[in-house]
Chains A and B, each alone.
Chain A
Amino acid sequence: SQTIHQWPATLVQPVGSPLSLECTVEGTSNPNLYWYRQAAGRGLQLLFYSVGIGQISSEVPQNLSASRPQDRQFILSSKKLLLSDSGFYLCAWRGGPGSPLHFGNGTRLTVT
């Protein structure tokens, strides 16, 4: 069966520090991969999605970037964190059109 792993679960970082959040999927190949952010406990905003290795689409201009170095690995990064980057970050995957989206357990990021 397919599983999605996301880490770390919680993270506290100072303003101006770098960020790297990792997400991996097991049990499937060539998944569509997504990063969402949730602020204030409601409403998910799509940040990035990828339909294949090296293919990244950005939905919202911001201080973050994403990369997909391997088929089942999706990384969210920042060179310098801002206070406004605080939030709950969720990685998700799906098998393609006509299949449901599945989420990881999320990373709660606090920028201080």
Chain B
Amino acid sequence: GIQVEQSPPDLILQEGANSTLRCNFSDSVNNLQWFHQNPWGQLINLFYIPSGTKQNGRLSATTVATERYSLLYISSSQTTDSGVYFCAVDNTGTASKLTFGTGTRLQVTL
């Protein structure tokens, strides 16, 4: 099956700093999503981005499908950004089965 690698595994930032999270995948995909899991375990859908660039407030994401990677940018980080960020991809067609990376654990400190 498809392999998904995320980096870095852990990241500590001071409030106000910017960061870039990376997701590499081993095969072509027809779906890619970024999720944020908050400290209570809720998984929040950030972006549905199989290709191209999207922005939502302080967050933006870019997927370069031909080179098999995606980047999540967090600008002016806040303590509420803390949690685990997951990249998930799918290349199985109609079944739409997402394969998750192991995540990047982000801690934003004051």
Complex partner residue of B95 from A45, A51, A102, A108, CB under 8 angstroms: A51
Residues 29-70 of B contacting A (Cβ, < 8 Å) = 30-31, 33, 35, 41-43, 45, 48
Q: Give a binary string over A95-112; 1 marks a CB under 8 Å from any B CB, 0 the rest.
A: 011111111011010000
Known: A49-B97, A51-B94, A51-B95. A100 touches B43 (CB 8 A): no
From B96, B98, B103, B105, A97 is in contact (CB under 8 Å) with B96
Q: Which residue of A lies closest to B45 (CB)?
A: A100
Cβ of A11 within 8 Å of any chain B Cβ, yes or no, is no
Number of residues of chain A lying within 8 A (CB) of chain B: 27
A42 pairs with B95, CB closer than 8 A: no
In B87-106, the 8 Å CB interface with A consists of 88, 93-100, 102-103, 105
Complex CA–CA separation, A62 to B102 (angstroms) = 21
**A42 touching B84 in the complex, CB below 8 Å, given contacts A90-B43, A101-B45:** yes
Cβ–Cβ < 8 Å partners of A105 in chain B: 41-42
B25 adjacent to chain A (CB < 8 Å): no
Question: Given A51-B94, A51-B95, A97-B30, does the pair A44, B42 have CB atoms closer than 8 Å?
Answer: no
> A3 in the interface, Cβ–Cβ < 8 Å?
no
Q: Which of B43, B97, B100 has the most CB of A within 10 A?
A: B43
Contacts beyond the supplied A43-B100, A51-B95: 17 A-B pairs with Cβ under 8 Å: A34-B97, A42-B105, A43-B102, A43-B103, A44-B88, A46-B99, A51-B94, A90-B43, A94-B96, A97-B94, A100-B45, A103-B45, A105-B41, A105-B42, A106-B41, A106-B42, A106-B43
